[in-house]
Amino acid sequence: MILQTKYILGTNKQYSIREDGVVIRHWYIHPSKTLVVRDRILYGYLDKGTNTLKVCVNKKEKLMKQLMGKHFKIVNIYDIDVPLIHKDNNPANCSLDNLYYRAPSEKTANEQYHKYKHNNVFIEKRKERNDKGREKITKSYISSIMRLKIDELPDELYKLKKITLKLHRHVKSKELH
């Protein structure tokens, strides 16, 4: 089976992409600094922050699925701009038959997981940490604010600073509500 190949726009026919999601560079520089015209497959890398497959074309990072959507004209049946996603939720599989435009109301499993994680677990843990921090104002905390050693901080100054911090936090909390 022969796969359809298209040249990537803006690369002067130096790079092409196949319908199975493989990017090919049609040249490379030999270690002896000579230009060799021969095809080489470029392997993308998985960006862990965005969970997308990226490839470097002309010293610029490009998203593999956007290259596929642009060059193979994957049909967007929606009037608005919606993301191009993977049917099998595998970002490394950028073949033409695995990509489609998501419906505006549809959520991927990855998005649902992150929304749940961020909205429930992380916010609750953050609130618990903040509440514990407000209750405990230690001498080491005060000494770090005042940029003194713990031994150099007198007890009277510690107690005064502790009272002012509690008052300041109380006033701030009243302003927010």
Q: What is residue 122's predicted lDDT score, i.e. its pLDDT?
A: 60
For the domain bounded by 5-101, which CATH number is listed? 3.90.75.20
Residue 98 neighbours by CB distance under 10 Å: 17
List the one residue out of 34, 38, 42, 91 whose CA is nearest residue 65: 91
Residue-range domain boundaries for the chain: 5-101, 109-176
Token pair belonging to 58 = 């002309």
pLDDT in tens, 112-150: 555 555 555 566 666 666 655 556 788 888 888 888 888
Which parts of the chain have pLDDT scores under 50?
Answer: none
Q: What is residue 65's predicted lDDT score, i.e. its pLDDT?
A: 87
Q: How far apart are CA 89 and CA 98, in angstroms?
A: 9
